[in-house]
Amino acid sequence: MEGHISLVKSVAFSQDGRHIVSGSYDQTIRVWDSETGDVVLGPLKGHTSSVHSVAFSQDGKHIVSGSDDQTICIWDSKTGDVVLGPLEGHTSLVNSVAFSQDGKHIVSGSHDQTICIWDSKTGDVVLGPLEGHTSSVDSVAFSQDGKRIVSGSDDQTICVWDSEMGGVVLGPLEGHTSSVWSVTFSQDGKCIVSGSSDHTICVWDSEMGDVVLEPLEGHTSSVYSVAFSQDGKHIVSGSYDQTIRVWDSETGYVVLGPLEGHTSLVNSVAFL
């Protein structure tokens, strides 16, 4: 699908799978029909620099975006209007944003080494900035129940946070030997998957912090994005090596790929 005039940094499916949202270095956001590939909304303009991260709310009514301009915007996914923002609080670029399952909160991770939790209705910071990482926070995600947040950082570690109190409840988890670009929980919350510049993927026990699956090797460059399937049986990864792989989350074997088709790095992947 073509439309952006610069690198596409982030993509996400709506919960019903009918739409895809994309954020780009061209400073815009687009919403696409996932079946036809047509642009159904956009380009949405509101940020003054690259859009690093985008996500749909669970009900599909809103989109959140984080940008190099250090702000966060919330958009109406039908009209394209900015309904909240730009939200200011971070002191450097916003690398990653995500909605909680109930849509009441947004979590953001920034190059300023901190994490913030925002009220999605008022735009107020309800928790943070949370400090614990010693370098840029590259990826953040809520657990399904909304009680925990996982973060991955340039400091090569992963932390799990209490989303109500703000404390680190697990970590820093060490296992990668370079920046952790992408982290997320499995649907049942029992596992965390991480992708790193060290070319590997790790699966962690989210309660104990143990690596439950030794680093998965196959990519020949940085792993920029990872995601679990809904049933937790598979992991998809996208890499600077221009390929996508699908892995068995229990055995660590590649079950599909490397999938080749892109002519540059793969920044973002997601399961339908």
Q: Which domains does the chain have, with CATH numbers?
A: 1-131 (2.130.10.10)
Q: Which residue has the tokens 């912090």?
A: 209
Summarised one tens digit per residue, pLDDT across range 69-106 is 999 999 999 999 999 999 999 999 999 999 999 999 99
Question: How far is the C-alpha of 59 from the C-alpha of 73, rounded, in Å?
Answer: 17
Contacts 24+ apart (CB under 8 A), 210-214: 211/175, 213/249, 213/250, 213/252, 214/252
Question: How far is the C-alpha of 133 from the C-alpha of 169, rounded, in Å?
Answer: 13
| CA atoms within 13 A of residue 113's CA, in its CB half-sphere | 8
In this predicted structure, what is the pLDDT of residue 188? 96
Closest C-alpha among 53, 51, 6, 7 to residue 27: 51
Percent of the chain past pLDDT 90, that is, above it, reads 97
In order, the DSSP letters of 73-126 are EEEETTT--EEEEEEE--SS-EEEEEE-TTSSEEEEEETTSEEEEEETTT--EE
Radius of gyration (C-alpha) of the chain in whole angstroms: 17
The answer to whether 106 and 96 have CB atoms below 8 angstroms apart is: no
Beta bridge partner(s), residue 160 = 150, 170
In this predicted structure, what is the pLDDT of residue 219? 98
Side chain identity at residue 202, one-letter code? C
In this predicted structure, what is the pLDDT of residue 9? 93
Say whether pTM exceeds 0.75.
Answer: yes
In this predicted structure, what is the pLDDT of residue 161? 99
Question: Which residues, given as ranges, of the chain have pLDDT below 50?
Answer: none
Q: What is the DSSP letter of 155?
A: T
In this predicted structure, what is the pLDDT of residue 272? 81
